[in-house]
A and B are shown apart, each in its own frame.
Chain A
Amino acid sequence: MAEAALRLSAVAVAPRAGPRTGALAEAFAGWTLAAPAIVLMWLMLLGPVVAVIVLSLTDWTLGAPAFRWIGLDNYLALSKDRVFWISLQNTLAYVAFTVPLSVFGGLALAMLVESASSLRGLYRTLLFLPVTSTLIAMALVFQFAFHPTVGLVNQGFGALGLPTTDWLKNPSTALYALGVIGIWQAVGLNMVLFLAGLKSIPRDLHEAAAVDGADGAWERFHRVTWPMLGPSLLFVVTITAIRALQVFDTVQVLTDGGPNKATSVLLHQMYQEGFSFLRTAYAAALTCVFLGMVLLLTWMQTQLMEKKTHYG
């Protein structure tokens, strides 16, 4: 008590010394150093997110002098919009097609790369190469590969006696042709993420499993690698799914949503409504649906993560 009183009086007498002014200076420094980031974060990211939600409750169009509050009318209109349901369905089909293949493809490649040392570095480099490439430029290469007569895909399929088609112009294959491009770019990234996950599994665990009689490769995978990879797997599935929801570049440049809306996806519809048809508020409502789906995925990830940790 006495000591505390003494310290208090010391602060009162000499406010420039002592711990309190240090704390004040530290708080001042904290706010000052973080201020530019806080301002920009609200100006460029969080503020616009709030604005897009507010905008979706109005009837504003770009350039209009005034707007009215129309509540949920934009969402009501969305629910009656045939194109919206097609876009939603296409987006989900794209996610369902690309995520399993690029996640399990990435996992299989990571395990194959890690399972022996020969050419390990070379394989890793070459398989990661698509991740750094400019997707738009590579999309144009794929467009050539999918060319109905001179494309490599049809030449290869024809030589093997498999059916050929104009992949990007056939409504039943176009979305999946775009999906192949998505998988091509995502697999290498997922492989590298799984490599990091595999490295974090203690080597002893595999040896212990071997001692316990788990000598087959499958047995070791089933009993050690798979359970230990749980958190990595969940993370990779989530970010791959979120990236797949964001599919836009290949759609815009290769099919423009066609043929007959067969490749219309959420972001592409948002782009068309907002920037071609200038229905700004309607596009804002579409953006909110898109944001909702991304947040739902993240929420599911955290729920599953918590469940996992209960098992220890």
Chain B
Amino acid sequence: MAEHLQRGRFGIPSTGFQVFRHLMLGMAVIFSVAPFVLMVAISLKPPGEVFSPQFTLLPQQWHAVENYTLAFTKQPLLRFILNGLFVTACIFAAQALVALPCAYALAKLRWSGRNITFVFVLLGLLVPTQVAALPLYIGLWKLGLLDTYAAIILPSTISVFGIFLMRQYFMTVPDDLISAARLDGLGEFSIVWRIMLPSAMPALVAFGMLSLVWNWNDYFWPLLVIQTETLATPPLGVVFFNNAEAGTNYGALMAAATAVTAPLVLAFLFAQRWFIDGVTMTAVK
């Protein structure tokens, strides 16, 4: 067993191969991490050093306090981040509330609409969200809901991906567990929340992570429906900031970019197992 762990998948690696492996992966890591390093490095520098022809990692003269203060005062950056938290929390709450009962009905109940509903869920998975944008925009405009939180949240209240993922997971829950709950007098609605939900926690957490990443980072939809600065989500807020500063104050812009990127990157570092599991679940069909 210990030997297996040592060996890796393709047999015992030679020393030469080990060096080659670390060299290649090290280069790949530099490529993937460099933008983050650059972002933080610039966010610490005064304007003069940002445009100096020779790049240095650390500033000669620290300007971090000024840059971050500017980032949080020149534009309502904290408001953007709170908007992001509020919107992503509302969206995931709605998605879970709608998807879990439906996933249970699709996985464990016999009813006449089951197959056709599942076919529509699968069809929904094929459609990129941008396809629905024009009619949704027109609908929200008719309802007078453009430029509100509701305009950002409503179209994302349904996640066909979430229904699909939870349905696949519920299929693996033994029927006996549900029969026993019914014998105990639980209704179908209680079974969803008191039996299925606790047993599906890993899938729900993975779903939550993906929903968070997708909705925090989404730029296309908020760009369409939000004009008022105080309603902007983090990506839209950073672009507002960029437009206002017109690319002159890179230090403060990178401070804003760091502040917007940090919550998800930190969440990932603390909960990476669930992130990676969630992504992997999308591949296992």
Q: Which residues of A contact B (CB under 8 A)?
A: 23, 26-34, 36-38, 40-41, 43-49, 51-52, 55, 62, 105, 108-109, 111-119, 123-138, 140-145, 149-150, 152, 155, 184, 187-189, 192-193, 195-198, 203, 206, 210, 217, 220-221, 225, 232, 235-236, 242, 245-246, 248-249, 252-253, 267, 270-271, 274-275, 280, 283-284, 287, 290-291, 294-295, 298
Contacts and interface: CB of A to CB of B under 8 A. Distances in A.
Interface in B86-136: 97-99, 101-102, 104-106, 109-114, 117, 120-121, 123-124, 126-136
A134 B9 contact: no
State the main secondary structure of chain A at its contact with B. helix
B32 A126 contact: yes
A235 B279 CA distance: 13
Given A29-B109, A155-B55, A192-B280, A62 B219 contact: no
A246 B131 contact: no
Interface string B1-31: 0001111111101000110011011001101
Interface stretch (B33-41, B61-69, B198-206): B33-41
B158 interface: yes
Contacts of A298: 126
Contact of A193 (B121, B123, B258, B280): B280
Interface of B: 4-11, 13, 17-18, 21-22, 24-25, 28-29, 31-36, 38-39, 42, 50-53, 55, 97-99, 101-102, 104-106, 109-114, 117, 120-121, 123-124, 126-139, 141, 154-158, 160, 163, 187-189, 192, 213, 216-217, 219-220, 223-224, 234-236, 238-239, 242, 247, 250, 253-254, 256-258, 260-261, 264-265, 267-269, 272, 275-276, 279-280, 283-285
Given A134-B260, A152-B38, A294-B126, A283 B134 contact: yes
B265 A189 contact: no
A152 B99 contact: no
A152 B141 CA distance: 44
A150 B32 contact: no
